Chain A
Amino acid sequence: QLQVQESGPGLVKPSETLSLTCIVSGDSISSSDYYWGWIRQPPGKGLEWIGTIYYSGTTFYNPSLKSRVTISVDTSKNQFSLRLSSVTAADTALYYCARLPHRGYSFMDVWGKGTTVTVSS
């Protein structure tokens, strides 16, 4: 059974870089069938897609975050990562990683439990 799990610091200072990792277990991240992505949810609010990556390194980013976001993949560790630079309080959210089973643009069929990131000094 495929599982994905987020990890990373729960507290980040304003203007610094948020870094999270998603560990994939139960399947290879290099499977040609899947993409992998990050989605966030501010407290009490809705869902926002951050970006998606393929094992080859192909990425799609939300234009609203594109200048600050980098998503990378490490196939040797079966994980992918999110970096969000110059964070502000508006980046405080529950961050989810997920699997996207359809090439390119897709829905998300497996989600992690999420990790809360608070931006505060």
Chain B
Amino acid sequence: DIVMTQSPDSLAVSLGERATINCKSSQSVLYISNNKNYLAWYQQKPGQPPKLLIYWASTRESGVPDRFSGGGSGTDFTLTINGLQAEDVAVYYCQQYYSTPLTFGGGTKVEIK
């Protein structure tokens, strides 16, 4: 199984500042033949299902604000929220879909400082 490790477990960021979440996979999720990273990011607010933010490591889902961006390749990935808004308070998960079982990171809780 590919183990997804997120860091930090939680972070507090001031409104308008940048939040950076890291996700590391135990093996590469880059598929060489198409040069795509099989990595997605989700946002989960309390009492709600996860919401897809980013897929292919850096492609923003339709309707997701452009303050959310994904980066990285191979085994190391980041989700960046530029200009944190109050509505961004949530838990964020990464997920690999390079191989089964599909696996998620443990989550990073983002709060307002």
Contacts and interface: CB of A to CB of B under 8 A. Distances in A.
Interface of A: 46-49, 52, 60, 62-64, 96, 102, 105-109, 111-114
Given A46-B106, A47-B104, A49-B103, A107 B97 contact: yes
Nearest to B91: A46
B74 interface: no
Contacts, number: 55
Given A107-B40, A107-B55, A109-B61, A47 B50 contact: yes
B65 interface: no
A119 to B, nearest CB: 21
A49 B50 CA distance: 13
Q: Is the interface of B mostly helix, strand, loop or mixed?
A: loop
Q: Place the interface of chain B in its size category.
A: 20 to 34
A54 to B, nearest CB: 13
Contacts of A47: 42, 50, 93, 95, 104, 107
Contacts of A111: 49-51
Contacts of B93: 46-47
Interface of B: 1, 38, 40, 42, 48-52, 55, 61, 93, 95, 97-107
A31 B100 CA distance: 22
Contacts of B95: 47, 107-108
A113 B47 CA distance: 9
Contacts of B50: 47, 96, 108, 111
A46 B38 contact: no
Nearest to A4: B49
A105 B107 CA distance: 21
Contacts of A52: 102
Contact of A114 (B38, B49, B101, B104): B49
